[in-house]
């Protein structure tokens, strides 16, 4: 491993070097992680953690999954990269696989990127091309939306703190209230190029849109000639126990973006366009990327999808997800539990969520707080009932510790 190329240091030493060599955009990292296996990771000081965040919904099959690892290694040892003047079998096979898994109609196509943000950038460009008469300047997204932080994706993202330092952002984006069908009906008109929706808003604290909302969105966008683009970067690829979180709504969107879990930990993103008309909006020369669709990335995704299918992972997501939600709902300080499968958000009755993250780390659990009272769990999809129970058993103590530490800090 690359550990032979770097010196052995303690976590504290690494973090000191981090602060003097890396840009501070992520603040100070919580730990220095050196190794993972399944749902467990270890830090530079040898401490073990149960990973209930999975790199934020990325490590679909946990860490160092043997099959995914071996497919990536052998692909790398066979053909690592080709330019986009060429293609490779894994790229084509993965595109076909994604079209099959998303039930895409004839004429549907795939564009490969390297991240969720990049998939959304491509989707934004697709939306701009839905403008044959030059009047479709409006793109609609929701309050609370997170679609990425490059300039285009940031224009779609709602959070003012992310946006304000970078104005002017690409224009025409309108944010409307979350989950409000009437507001959607009022906003979508013949100047609308596209509506972007996350079926479950992840960064906003795991907030699901109803099937009725998604159906209404399909109806009004179709009527207005606007594209319905679903960002399933966080919710897709088994996260909810289905290939797409939007599956149950029974709608065919115009495009879906995917990333995170798709590569099982390897960077790969995808834009899937549905039907031949939408798929023809971006033509030769209108978009591109050096690494997108790289043989190793596409091999990683093929291996991930194969393992999810052959190892009963989707059923596990449903079973363990339901178990976790039931256990969480039974805890006194927990006021609300949201989400589906293994994308779970829960609220506590005081502003202790950040302190809970710290207490959890000390106790050997990795969790995340997208809000002052909200905890998000997005563990590997292979999490077991026993591992879920370890967390549920520890949670009352974590809440008590976080409450005490928050009170101490306030003094
Ligand atoms: N869309 C959604 C819904 C996301 O949750 C994220 C990442 N949190 C992104 C886009 C951006 O993806 P990436 O970080 O891979 O660029």
pLDDT > 90 in the chain, percent: 97
Q: Is the CB of 233 under 6 A from ligand 1?
A: yes
pLDDT digits (tens, 9 = 90+) for 84-114: 999 999 999 999 999 999 999 999 999 999 9
Check whether residue 125 and residue 251 sit in a common domain. yes
Are 79 and 42 in a shared domain?
Answer: no
Q: Is there a catalytic annotation at residue 138?
A: no
Q: What is the CATH number of the domain that holds 375?
A: 3.90.1150.10
**Mean pLDDT throughout 211-223?**
98
Residues 16, 38 within the same domain: yes
Same domain, 301 and 328: no
The predicted-structure confidence for 168-188, as pLDDT tens digits, reads as follows 999 999 999 999 999 999 999
d(CA 272, CA 110): 5
Residue 411 confidence (pLDDT): 82
Task: Judge whether 289 and 114 are in contact, CB under 8 Å.
Answer: yes
Cβ of 263 below 6 Å from ligand 1:
no
**One domain, residues 171 and 238:** yes
With a 6 Å cutoff on the Cβ, whether 146 touches ligand 1 is: yes
- Beta-carbon neighbour count of residue 289 at 10 Å? 17
CATH number, residue 272 = 3.40.640.10
Whether the link from the prior residue into 405 is cis, omega within 30° of 0, is: no
What six digits make up the tokens of 114? 């390297």
Residue 104 and residue 131 in one domain: yes
In order, the DSSP letters of 315-376 are HHHHHHHHHHHHHHHTSTTEEEEEEETTEEEEEESSS-HHHHHHHHHHHTEE-EEEETTEEE
Q: Residue 39 CA to chain centroid, in angstroms?
A: 18
Q: Is the CB of 43 under 6 A from ligand 1?
A: no
Residue 2 has pLDDT above 80, yes or no: no
Indicate the pLDDT class of residue 320, thresholds 50, 70 and 90: very high
**Per-residue pLDDT, 206:** 98
| Residue tagged active-site, from 43, 231, 254, 347 | 231
- Ligand 1 centre to CA of 396 (Å) is 31
Residues 232 and 100 in one domain: yes
265 has a pLDDT exceeding 80: yes
- Whether residue 291 is found in the same domain as residue 190: yes
Residue nearest to atom 13 of ligand 1 (CA): 116
Report how far ligand 1's centroid is from the alpha carbon of 234 (Å): 6
Q: Hey, what are 93's tokens?
A: 């096979």
Task: State mean pLDDT over 236-258.
Answer: 98
Work out the percent of the chain whose per-residue pLDDT is above 70: 100
Same domain, 163 and 288: yes
Say how far apart CA 260 and CA 59 lie, in whole Å.
Answer: 8
Three-state DSSP class for residue 132: coil
Mean pLDDT calculated for residue range 368-393: 98
3-state DSSP assignment of residue 102:
coil
- Does the pLDDT of residue 260 top 80, yes or no? yes
- Assess whether 347 carries a catalytic annotation: no
pLDDT of residue 8: 86
- Domain containing residue 152: 69-310
Active site residue 266: no
Q: Give per-residue pLDDT as tens, 322-380.
A: 999 999 999 999 999 999 999 999 999 999 999 999 999 999 999 999 999 999 999 99
Reported pTM: 0.98
Residue where a domain terminates, one of 259, 277, 310: 310
State the Cα–Cα distance between residues 368 and 406, nearest whole angstrom: 17
Q: Which of 111, 112, 124, 146 is catalytic?
A: 146
Per-residue pLDDT of 271-292, as tens digits, reads 999 999 999 999 999 999 999 9
Task: Tell whether ligand 1 has an atom less than 6 A from the beta carbon of residue 65.
Answer: no
**Are both 106 and 175 inside the same structural domain?**
yes
Q: Which atom of ligand 1 is nearest to the CA of 235?
A: 3
Please work out whether the CB of residue 202 comes within 6 Å of at least one atom of ligand 1: yes
**pLDDT above 90 (res 1):** no
Tell me the pLDDT tens digit for each residue of 15-71.
999 999 999 999 999 999 999 999 999 999 999 999 999 999 999 999 999 999 999
Least confident window among 267-271, 370-374, 405-409: 405-409
ipTM above 0.95, yes or no: yes
Question: For the chain, what is the domain count?
Answer: 2
**Encoded tokens for 301:** 């995704």
Average pLDDT over the chain, rounded to whole?
97
């Amino acid at each position: 491993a690359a550990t032979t190329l770097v010196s052995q240091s303690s976590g504290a030493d690494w973090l000191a070097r981090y602060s003097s060599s890396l840009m501070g955009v992520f603040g100070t990292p919580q730990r220095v992680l050196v190794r993972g296996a399944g749902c467990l990771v270890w830090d530079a000081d040898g401490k073990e953690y149960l990973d209930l965040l999975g790199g934020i919904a990325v490590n679909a099959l946990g860490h160092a999954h043997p099959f995914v690892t071996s497919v990536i290694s052998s692909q790398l040892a066979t053909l690592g990269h080709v330019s986009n003047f060429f293609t490779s079998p894994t790229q084509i096979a993965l595109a076909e696989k994604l079209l099959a898994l998303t039930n895409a109609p004839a004429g549907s196509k795939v564009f490969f990127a390297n991240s969720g943000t990049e998939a959304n950038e491509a989707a934004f460009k697709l939306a701009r091309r839905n403008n044959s008469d030059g009047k479709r300047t409006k793109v609609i997204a929701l309050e609370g939306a997170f679609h990425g932080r490059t300039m285009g994706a940031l224009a779609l993202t709602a959070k003012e703190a992310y946006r304000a330092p970078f104005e002017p952002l690409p224009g025409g984006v309108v944010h409307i209230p979350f989950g409000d069908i009437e507001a959607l009906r009022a906003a979508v008109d013949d100047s609308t190029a596209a509506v972007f929706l996350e079926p479950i808003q992840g960064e906003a604290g795991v907030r699901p849109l109803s099937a009725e909302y998604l159906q209404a969105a399909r109806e009004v966008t179709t009527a207005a000639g606007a594209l319905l683009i679903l960002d399933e970067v966080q919710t897709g690829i088994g996260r909810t126990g289905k290939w797409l979180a939007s599956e149950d709504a029974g709608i065919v969107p115009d495009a879906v973006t995917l990333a995170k879990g798709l590569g099982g930990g390897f960077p790969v993103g995808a834009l899937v366009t549905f039907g031949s008309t939408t798929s023809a909006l971006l033509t030769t020369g209108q978009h591109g990327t050096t690494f997108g669709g790289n043989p190793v990335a596409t091999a990683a995704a093929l291996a991930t999808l194969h393992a999810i299918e052959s190892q009963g992972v989707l059923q596990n997501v449903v079973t363990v997800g339901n178990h976790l939600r039931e256990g969480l709902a039974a805890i006194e300080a927990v006021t609300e539990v949201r989400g589906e499968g293994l994308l779970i958000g829960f609220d506590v009755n005081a502003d202790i969520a950040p302190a809970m993250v710290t207490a959890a780390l000390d106790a050997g659990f990795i969790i995340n707080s997208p809000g002052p009272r909200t905890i998000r769990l997005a563990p590997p999809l292979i999490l077991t009932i026993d591992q879920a129970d370890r967390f549920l058993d520890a949670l009352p103590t974590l809440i008590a510790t976080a409450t005490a530490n928050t009170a101490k800090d306030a003094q």
